Chain A
Amino acid sequence: MSDSAASSDTQARAASARQRRMTTRASVKIGEKLAGGIITVGGLMVIVAVLGIMVFLVRVVVPLMASGELQGNVRYQLDTGQDVTWIVGDEFQTIGLALAAEGRVIGYHIPSGQEIRREQWDFGDATVTSVAGSLGRDRIALGFDDGTVRFATLGVDNTSTARRNLPSGLTTLDARDRALDGRVFTEVGTGDFRTLEPIIELGDGEQVSDFAITAIDYRIGGTSDRPVFSFATLDSDNQVRVSRSRVQLNMMTGEETTTTTTTELPPLGLEPGVTPTGVLVSGNADRVLVAADNGFVFRYDLRDADNPELAERIRVADDGVGVTAMTFLTAEDALVVGTDAGDLMVYFRLQTGTPDTTDGRELVRARTHAQMPAAITDISEAQRGKEFVATDAEGNVWVYQSTADQILFQLQRSGTVTTDSIAMLFPRSNGVMLASRGGEVEAWSYDVPHPEVTLAVLFGRIWYEGYSEPGFTWQSTAGTDTVEPKYSLVPLVFGTFKAAFYAMIFAVPIALMAAIYTSEFVDKRVRGTVKPMMEMMESLPTVVLGFIAALVLAPLVEEWIGAVLLGFFALPMGLMIGAFAWQTLPAPVALKYDGFPKFTLMGVSIVLTAWIASRLGVTLETLLFSGDFKQWTTGRIGTGTPFMFLILLPLCYFVVAWGFRKQFGHHYRDLIDSMDRSRAGMIDAGRWMALLAVAMGLSLAVASLLTLIGYDPRGSFIDSYQQRNALVVGFIMAFAVIPNIYTLAEDALNSVPGHLRAASLACGATPWQTARWVVLPTAASGVFSAVMMGMGRAVGETMIVVMAAGNTPIMEWNIFSGLRTLSATIAIELPEAVRDGTNYRILFLAALTLFVMTFIINTGAELIRQRFRKRAFNL
């Protein structure tokens, strides 16, 4: 019974065994397919994700470079009757207002040209001969042929009307707009109606001259509570005057009184036949500029209002070429000048080294824009940004972006071309309106999303207003509306490399030495403790490191800078002295205490040296740096010799040691070999000190020589000290990078086959010789990629630099100054950037640049790595 059961069991097992051999179970097959599928999909997803990020970045960035798009162009004739002297349009390009010389004001619907309002100002017998508007164009000053000046408001008021409050009896202007009583209603998305209403008010007059006012400029300065109205006039007698009006509110009566003071400026001293063509006044009335048709611009200095003087007379155009138009760009530092030869130039008022002027400043040509085909007839600046529109005698209407030095649009008048047309840019810089004297109006609307951005702006030297020379500047948010943001990525790329460079200077030697130490010199147990500890270092959040760097290390280093500098030299020396002291011990003693006691002694010697360095730091400063290192770095005291002495010392030591080895190496070896251990140790220590002394002498000699020939490190890689500096960043960032480099390099060294190491050791090589000549060359490719991975990490590192680098986008290698990296900029500015705005897109460009940089570093590293690898295995 039991026998048969056993035999059937055996049979069944045999049968199942046979079955197992014949087929694979379905679940195994499915599992195999599934795993293959999932892995493939996963891999593809990774590729897609990386490419997707790239595509996303590019998509955000590309519109920066997009050229503008013309959206509309209208032309019609207004019934102005008389000469049009001024036009203004609102920011929605809905209502335009035109003023004729004898006082008729026409309000019209810009898209359709229909008249919606008509007023008549009473000028008496006088006729308007010149008009100037404040920056927003809505407050104007009118100059008359009888020498009077009157103020007026010609603008558009913007309110909102709910649908239920919409009045009846509206006339339809076009598909979008409806009008009633001169008001225009535009439905906006929310169901409300934007209500635009012309403001047409004529103010008081002021007699400033006995002659006709031929040119006028008008600015509103001061504060919004207590504005100061300044205007400069030029009369037909070529007299220039500046007037300032102050509005004072009588507290008792609530009455406003305007007091105007007019100053006559010194005569221009023009030769007969030369006519001034324009006048400009700055917002606080401390500068007046006059252009003349002999190609000169005159600059008055009015900082002392009671004592105005003609500060400068400068030829801006060739002989025989007259200045026909000029205007300030916003901020009033840049002067755009147009000539009858079609030239457009931008001048900055700068404090130069050798001015011929009375106030120490002069107008310097900063840019020459593309020339227009015919004489410039009018230049009108934008209310925001650095755009302006210029018209020429042949009907060309070109819109420029001055800083980026590009032409945004080249428009051509389609109607009658006249030389006396008036042009304006709409407040949002998204359109141009132009009116000829005869009342023919032409308007264009367009869209240029980022007019101020070109490749040259992002990566080239740009001469910004207020700067004395072209340069790379990053200043994405300006203090005031009139200052433009500056978007050069170069200082950020520079800062990124600077931070990475200084981090690598600290990280690479330490990490590689540590890797060699644990892979070649210690047994597995020590390695098993050290390696996880180094890896734990990596898990420290960089925000904590940055915090420590900024709040602990930076002030500490600042206070103890002398000691820190000394430490760089004292620590290696302390260790060397310790090593030599160990050498002099008798061999049995040395062997007995080889393990832990030696280690402890090393630690003690490090601590002791650090302590000595901290005591002697001040002495070092007194001895070498005239008592104050931070003062010394500014270059005001002392010479460059002491610092160069310190820098050159290690180099000199290597030269001296190499020379010694070359000359006396053999004899010295024989000598040492013939002695016992401790005597040899003493002799060797003596040799070391002698070499060090010689090296110090050599270093001092070279440093003095460098000073003699006029080289001073201050101003290049050493300059004035800032608390948040590259030294601190480099040090702490090295802390973050070391585990990366260490782990990878250690793995690479460790993966060198043991039989090579054994072969070298069996040849009688020391562990160091083995590491240096056999292990390192074989692992070179891995070690190199470890360094490059560390570099990649340092380049992309964010939190440490945000917190400790000071974030100053300056371009100097000075180890004691701050820096601003691409990644820190993105982290700082992106939360504040308006979505799809210029800054937003440029930050994405910064991200893309970072991406490309790391891509190039990694690719380069990989190529070099391949070469190393080839060499290691092929020679």
Chain B
Amino acid sequence: MSDTLEFEPTAYHVKKSNAGPALDIADFNLWYGEKQALFDNNLEIQKGQVTALIGPSGCGKSTLLRCLNRMNDLVDGLRIEGTIRVDGFDIYGKGVDVIALRKRMGMVFQKPNPFAMSIYDNITYPLRVDGVTKKSILDDTVEHALQQAALWGEVKDRLNDSALGLSGGQQQRLCIARAVASDPEVLLMDEPCSALDPIATARIEELIEELKGTYSIVMVTHSMAQAARVSDNTAFMYLGRLIEYGDTDTIFTNPERARTNDYVTGRFG
């Protein structure tokens, strides 16, 4: 595309939730050293909805996602400008307890990454790092989280087996269970199905459907079909810029921006 340097302002047609915004990202810029990766991103993540971040590789959608729970902190030469607010306070403000923040933002990664522990220990990990040792609380949490992750029936008899013995799809659902175990407000999902087969993917998508409402879900995905299937709102990013953010149906059927249209129709990406 020859017109890469010309960008129109972001087009918004967001489907608002009744509960209001869960996250408010305002004028957000990010640099890796000298290279700017995010340009003036402005978006509100709606509470209790599924928001999909789509865009071609390198467009900054994962970077933006990782900023939401400050997983980027350890990256060398990282510099940010702008604010990300959760319930009115800026997560990049001074004196923010990052550890406490992360407990409010459960995260599920691209590849299933259970710890080399038992299923039980995996799920109780967020509680144990918090100093919870009471058996009854832990037991309740494990059952609840596994049920939420639709895994309880499959593993309830082998909670003390290694989590690494589960199949890929099960592992990913375990990771979702682990993420919800600490009772977060937001679930961040970084291409949660990219390492899974279609059947496992379908199960995860069902799960996301079930979880929405309870949690605000932000999901990065490469699959436009998946975004169309599970999300309420979709944000299309391109070269670090938010091109269009709005109702998923509109994005996929009648986008306001030509570039969005080109992308969702498969003309590039």
Contact = CB atoms under 8 A, between A and B. Distances in A.
Q: Which of A523, A759, A765 is the most central at the interface, judged by chain B CB atoms within 10 Å of its CB?
A: A759
B115 A760 contact: yes
B131 A669 contact: yes
B260 interface: no
A777 B103 CA distance: 23
Interface residues of A, number: 31
B15 to A, nearest CB: 28
Contacts of A766: 99, 129
A875 interface: yes
Interface string A749-767: 0000101101111111110
B182 interface: yes
A756 B102 CA distance: 15
Interface in A361-395: none
Nearest to A772: B129
B95 interface: yes
A819 B109 CA distance: 55
Contacts of A764: 99-100, 102-103, 126, 129-130, 182
Interface centre among A524, A761, A873 (most CB of B within 10 A): A761
Contacts of A524: 76
Interface string B24-60: 0000000000000000000000000000000000000
A774 B165 CA distance: 17
B71 interface: yes
B113 A588 contact: no
A774 to B, nearest CB: 6
Interface in B62-109: 69, 71, 74, 76, 94-95, 99-100, 102-103, 105-107, 109
B182 A778 contact: no
B202 interface: no
Nearest to B184: A764
A753 B109 CA distance: 13
A874 interface: yes
A715 B133 CA distance: 45
A659 to B, nearest CB: 15
A874 B102 contact: no
A777 B164 CA distance: 14
A585 to B, nearest CB: 12
Contacts of B128: 773
A778 B131 CA distance: 22
A682 to B, nearest CB: 18
Contacts of A523: 74, 76
A762 B95 contact: no
A587 interface: yes
B113 A753 contact: yes
B182 A759 contact: no
A769 interface: yes
> Is chain B's interface secondary structure helix, strand, loop, or mixed overall?
mixed
A813 B264 CA distance: 76
Most B-side CB within 10 Å, residue of A753, A756, A765: A765
Given A523-B74, A764-B103, A764-B130, A873 B125 contact: no
Contact of A875 (B76, B116, B188): B116
Nearest to A780: B116
B262 interface: no
A759 B123 CA distance: 12
Contacts of B230: none
B71 A773 contact: no
Contacts of A761: 71, 102
A872 interface: yes
B125 A763 contact: yes
Contact of B117 (A666, A765, A875): A875
B175 interface: yes
A48 B122 CA distance: 48
Contacts of A759: 107, 109, 113-115, 175, 178
A874 B76 contact: no
A759 B94 CA distance: 25
Contact of A758 (B71, B99, B129): B71
A665 interface: yes
B179 interface: yes
Contacts of B125: 760, 763, 765, 773
Chain A CB within 10 Å, residue with most, of B74, B99, B175, B179: B74
Contact of A774 (B76, B115, B178): B115
A835 interface: no
Contact of A762 (B76, B107, B163, B165): B107
Contacts of A22: none
B118 interface: yes
A758 B102 CA distance: 11
Contacts of A588: 94-95
Contacts of A874: 162, 164-165
B175 A765 contact: no
B161 interface: yes
Given A523-B74, A523-B76, A763 B182 contact: yes
Contacts of B131: 665-666, 669
B212 interface: no
Contacts of A778: 115-116
Contacts of A665: 131
A525 interface: yes
B113 A763 contact: no
A62 interface: no
A760 B94 CA distance: 23
Nearest to A666: B131
A44 interface: no
B76 A756 contact: no
Contacts of B117: 777, 875
Given A588-B94, A591-B95, A756-B115, A763 B109 contact: no
Contacts of B175: 759
Given A591-B94, A755-B113, A875-B118, A763 B102 contact: yes
A523 B99 CA distance: 18
A775 to B, nearest CB: 10
A755 B172 CA distance: 13
B106 A762 contact: yes
A766 B188 CA distance: 19
B116 A777 contact: yes
B109 to A, nearest CB: 6
B102 A769 contact: no
Contacts of B110: 755
A667 to B, nearest CB: 12
A875 B164 contact: yes
Interface string A506-531: 00000000000000000111000000
A542 B33 CA distance: 42
B138 to A, nearest CB: 14
Nearest to A520: B74
A758 B75 CA distance: 12
Nearest to A665: B131
Interface string A256-275: 00000000000000000000
B203 interface: no
Contact of B109 (A525, A587, A758, A765): A758
Contacts of B107: 758-759, 762
B111 interface: yes
16 contacts: A591-B94, A591-B95, A665-B131, A758-B71, A759-B114, A762-B106, A762-B107, A763-B125, A763-B126, A773-B129, A777-B117, A778-B115, A871-B116, A872-B116, A873-B164, A875-B162
Which 4 pairs from chain A and chain B are nearest by CB? Answer: A875-B162, A764-B103, A762-B107, A765-B129
Interface of A: 523-525, 587-588, 591, 665-666, 669, 753, 755-756, 758-766, 769, 773-774, 777-778, 871-875
Given A665-B131, A756-B113, A778-B116, 13 more contacts: A587-B94, A669-B131, A761-B102, A762-B102, A763-B178, A764-B99, A766-B99, A773-B125, A773-B128, A873-B164, A875-B116, A875-B117, A875-B162
